[in-house]
Structures are given as C-alpha cells and as structure tokens.
Amino acid sequence: TLLLLVHPEDLNDVRAFLAAPISTEATIRFRSKHGQNSYLLRRAPMVDASGTMRAHIHYFTDITPLEEARRARDEALSLISHDLRAPQAAILAALNKPMNAEQKTFITRQAQRTMRLAESFVDLARMRERDFAGEEFLLSEVVAEVADDFHPLAEAKHIRIVQHIAASECFVVLEMDSIIRALANLFDNAVKFSPEGG
C-alpha cells in the first residue's frame, strides 16, 4: 500500500530500503506519487528480551512544510550568492585601472550595493510574506544605472553594452532594489557569457 504513494522516480529507492536487512534505525525521504508532498519513512528494528530482532517498526511522517522551507532557504542562498558576486566582480575590475574621482564613486556605490544585498537576506527569505511596495520610476533611467555599473566588466572583455528602450518615457511601478537585482543578474550573465568583443 505504501508503494502506491511513492513518486515513480523514488520507487526503486524505497523498495530497496524496505527490502534491506536493516538492523539499526534508518530513514529515507521520498516524494508523493504526483510530487506534491514529501515524506519521511523511519525504520527501526524491534527486538525481544533476548535482543533478537523480531520485526521492524515503520514511522511515516509528512514533511512537506519542512522540505518547502529547505528549498526556499536553498533558493535564497543561491540568489544571494549570485547577487553578491556581481558587484564584487565590478569592483575588482575597476580596481585594475587608474582611479579618478568618478571611479572612486563607482566603487563606493558598488560596495554600498553589496552591503544592501547582504542586509536584505532576511527580506528575501520573507519575500512571499511581504506585500508589494512599489514606487514609480522611469524605466530607461533604471536600466541606464545598472548598465553603467557593468561598464568596467564589459570593457575588460571588450564587450559593448548597447541600450535600446523603445519607450524612453515609460514609467513603471517597481521595488527598486528588487528590479536592480534582476537587471544586474541579466547584465552579469550577458557580460560573462558573451564572446570577447561582442
């Protein structure tokens, strides 16, 4: 009956777990048949007074909320890791060139952005619970700001950043930090994976 609940991709693992002669407590995690839930199966030996194993006891638990929390945490950590690398790479690229006041301002801005990203970790973890708090911004200015931040990285690879916004007077309602993170990810990937001179 238990096997009827198991996702096809996890079926062989669960069968092997149940068939194995386990003499100590062991556990296995698996997904439900349609992948909507996650379960934990704990198997422990039952012994008599002489210490002879007579049977196994199985504990079956729905751990869906725990697995969802784990996935959300892993996604947040991955996102933060990626977001923090982009401004740091821009700072390192800028430091390889002679510095004037403009470059110093750029490095300061990137460092401050890194600090904001680090401080926003808790906000990212709670993003699903937070209400949208957008403000009106001119889209072309937002894109131009992020593009400027990536010019040192692009120049290092002889890559040209071309901005083409059809609706230059387009105002959008957005959360500035969130949209900058999204655009920075796009620019970072574009610069990283474009061929030199592209």
Q: Note the pLDDT tens digit of each residue in 30-55.
A: 888 888 889 988 888 888 888 787 88
Which residue pairs from 36-45 have beta carbons closer than 8 angstroms and sit at least 24 positions apart in sequence? Answer: 36/64, 37/62, 37/64, 38/62, 38/63, 38/64, 38/66, 38/67, 39/5, 39/63, 41/2, 41/14, 41/17, 43/17, 43/18
pLDDT of 1 reads 64
Are 39 and 29 in contact, with CB atoms under 8 Å apart? yes
Q: Which residue has the higher pLDDT, 149 or 92?
A: 149
pLDDT of 124 reads 62
Average pLDDT over residues 176-193: 85
pLDDT of 111 reads 76
Residue 11 to residue 65: CA distance in whole angstroms: 22
Average pLDDT over residues 116-122: 65
The reported pTM is: 0.42
